[in-house]
Chain A
Amino acid sequence: MTIINRTTDRGPAPGDGHPLPWLVPAIAILAAFYAVPVLDVLRLAFSDASLLAPASRYSTDAIGGVLADPALPVVLGTTLVFTLANVAALQLAGLCIALVIARGERRGLRGMAAFRTLVLAAWVVPGIANGLVWQMLFDEAPYGTLNSLLGYVGLGPVAWLSDPQMAMASAVIANLWQGTAFSMIVFYAARRAIDPTLYEVAELDAATPWQMFRYITLPLMRRLIAVNTVLVTVQTLNTFDSILALTGGGPGRATEVLALFTFNTVFYNLDLAGGSVLAVLLFAIGMGCALLVHYVIGRERPAA
């Protein structure tokens, strides 16, 4: 039997009974850069602060005002549609591309790295630029890019941005184009982590590609799919820059999501307190999604 002496020449290890000093830097950084701003937003939500004057009193007036705003249900509905459509599409597109790349690499196809880079290129485009690029593509003028292409094959024109329903679809397409890369990276990493022996055994058992996906790939990627769902949901909830550039939230409020509504409340309305209430709401929704998935993952975790 070997007795392990945990005290080494370098001094005590972090777990030797005094972990706090080791955690202080991390706690301080988290507090300074994360908790303090969040707490300040929470404070502002209970204030009467505007961009013209600092908080002079604290009450629940701003919360009441925001919750009673008839526009809020409309905006929440728009946010729900935008988020659900994006999360579903982003997951599906990201998964498909990741599996295509993984399969291509397994078969030694050339150009897979270039393909992966091409998808990633969209990810580094700033949201505003993404919105402007798609605004040009969706331009409904007689010389608009997509409508002109559709015209060559006898289709269209499509009211990409002027019709409220199509404007939402266009906003989803623009966000999908940019955000797919993130899901693709997550799924690609997850797919690469699966032991290839499993697929080799499945092939020996004459499993079809669908069966391998259904009974090997999907179950083993399930937890990362759940994590990605949270990340993508939070990302989508926070999206406002590309919509701002693409439609500005219009026509009317057709594409005004919660993040954009928050921006407008602060910078059009000059209502810092109201904007803070909306920011807290956005934070709560994001946190709720994260906790939900954490709970689901926790239930699935096998006993040690």
Chain B
Amino acid sequence: MKKTLFLAAAASALPVMGTAQDLVMRTRVGLADAPNTLTFRLTAYDLYSSDPATKAAFEALFTDFITARPDWKIETQLQTGNIGQEQARLLQQTQAGRGPDCAMIDSSQLALFKDNGVLKPMNDVFSDAEVADLFPFVRDAVTDADGNVLAWWWFTDLRVLYRDTSVVPDAPQTWEDLKSAALSAVEQGREGILFNGGRWEGTAFDWLANVWAQDATLVDDNGAPVFASGENREKVLTAIAYYQDLVDSGAAPARVTSITDYDSFNAAAAAGSAAMFIGGNWQYGQLRNTLPPKTFANWAVSEIPGPTADQRATGTGGWTIAALTDDPAKASLCGEIAKEIYAGPGNAAQGLLPTSAAIYDQYDTYDGPEYDLFSAALQNGVARPGAAIYPELSNQIQIMLGDVLSGTATPEAALDTADAAVQAAFDRQ
């Protein structure tokens, strides 16, 4: 009898299971004949992730979401990893009326979309309390002057100092501490401190923490570049001199000007060749999965040192989800995707840093001590300036640091060149 009941139950469940699997296709979530359609442009790191566990987790989340909304289907469009190009294309298409209804927008580009007026409010999805619980830099970025929620920043990241405690037992608090610890590590046969110094966005962004720690600003309220004028100039020069001194003193190897990805730091940690590096929070999990447990136990994270112990900053990134449609129902659905799939369960599924304090307490994923550090460091988080000139500003900072660290130009000359180029680009914009 029990066997018969079990078979009957299994047989009746088969169509349901089949339907659930069919609900998530390569370009669609939901039934093909659902009357309402939302187009959603997303990255390839979650629903269509190459990691089977991540993919399965998001398939389950999307299946639950669309099962509760049988009248809807979501047509998915994948973005490539070329963020700058993809986001520029997305903005162009949206302005021309050919964009998707809902899209993932890189946090660094969010202001550009806001300034161009293409983001539509999702106010009815998010309560005032939920908005208030966002980290301050996130809240400022996703809302406008009228308090409209124009996007939902569903995860963030930050840069921290990693150190091998067998070589550097105490976390350096200041730039001077860092240099001393690095030189001491060099005497022990290690590379002292590694950081991004090659020609890519990571170089500019990681270095900017040293600028922001001095309360310098890169652009004014109108988005005009001011990083090389007034007080900002001295602070920027101080931050350049700090990096230059690390290389010239041998605390950092000259090869930093060729480092153009964070994976190089993982490799150096695995090889036991580096004592410290400035890396992203996500690398903690990577190191845990890569290094032997005994070796991993030696690695610790701390806030990026500042010019003084109480002057700290860290660059924060991450992705947002925003509605680009004039249809209020679609805009709401877009907000619900952000809220029900990505912020919270999506964060926990991937171990990504949530943007509101409440979620850290809600999921076991965030019980590790490293998350206490990340959460605390986020209080000093600074997002990229929300200005159209930022990509070129970053480009010029990369060139400036490369020229100074390779001995091709003095800090003053390199800064003047960068300033002239950025001002010219701004004038053309």
Decide yes or no whether B225 CB sits under 8 A from chain A: no
Which residue of A140, A247, A253, A268 contacts B255 across the interface (Cβ within 8 Å)? A140
Which A residues are in CB contact (< 8 Å) with B408? 164, 251-252, 254
Decide yes or no whether A71 CB sits under 8 A from chain B: yes
Given A69-B421, A269-B391, CB of A142 within 8 Å of CB of B273: yes
Q: Are B258 and A140 in contact (CB under 8 A)?
A: yes
**Distance between Cα atoms of A264 and B199 in the complex (Å):** 11
**Distance between Cα atoms of A130 and B197 in the complex (Å):** 22
Q: Are A251 and B88 in contact (CB under 8 A)?
A: no
**Distance between Cα atoms of A273 and B391 in the complex (Å):** 17
Which A residues are in CB contact (< 8 Å) with B78? none
In angstroms, how far is the closest chain A Cβ from the Cβ of B89? 8
Decide yes or no whether A111 CB sits under 8 A from chain B: no
Consensus secondary structure, chain B interface: helix
Decide yes or no whether A190 CB sits under 8 A from chain B: no
Report the interface size class on chain A. 35 or more
Q: Report the nearest A residue to B85, measured CB to CB.
A: A267
Q: Report the nearest A residue to B260, measured CB to CB.
A: A248
Interface stretch of the complex, out of B45-53, B288-296, B398-406: B398-406
Which residue of B91, B256, B424 contacts A162 across the interface (Cβ within 8 Å)? B256
Which residue of B395, B406, B428 contacts A163 across the interface (Cβ within 8 Å)? B406
Decide yes or no whether A184 CB sits under 8 A from chain B: no
Q: Are A252 and B267 in contact (CB under 8 A)?
A: no
Decide yes or no whether B377 CB sits under 8 A from chain A: no
**Distance between Cα atoms of A140 and B260 in the complex (Å):** 12
Q: Are A50 and B417 in contact (CB under 8 A)?
A: no
Report the interface size class on chain B. 35 or more
In angstroms, how far is the closest chain B Cβ from the Cβ of A170? 9
**Distance between Cα atoms of A71 and B421 in the complex (Å):** 8
Q: Are A51 and B91 in contact (CB under 8 A)?
A: yes
Q: Report the nearest A residue to B405, measured CB to CB.
A: A251
Q: Are B392 and A250 in contact (CB under 8 A)?
A: no
Decide yes or no whether B429 CB sits under 8 A from chain A: yes
Interface digits, A246-272 against B, CB 8 Å rule (1 contact, 0 not)?
011111111010000000100111110
Q: Which 5 A-B pairs have the closest CB atoms?
A: A250-B199, A248-B199, A161-B258, A251-B402, A252-B403
Which residues of A come within 8 Å of B, CB atoms?
A: 50-53, 61-62, 65, 68-71, 135, 138-143, 159-164, 167, 247-254, 256, 264, 267-271, 273-274
Given contacts A135-B260, A251-B408, A254-B406, list 4 more A-B pairs with CB under 8 A. A51-B91, A164-B406, A251-B199, A251-B403
Which residues of B come within 8 Å of A, CB atoms?
A: 84-85, 88, 91-92, 95, 112, 116, 191, 197-200, 253-258, 260, 264, 267-268, 271, 273, 388, 391-392, 394-395, 398-400, 402-403, 405-406, 408-409, 417, 420-421, 424-425, 427-429
Give 9 pairs: A residue, B residue, CB < 8 Å, sorted on A: A141-B271, A141-B273, A161-B258, A162-B256, A247-B198, A251-B403, A251-B406, A252-B400, A270-B429
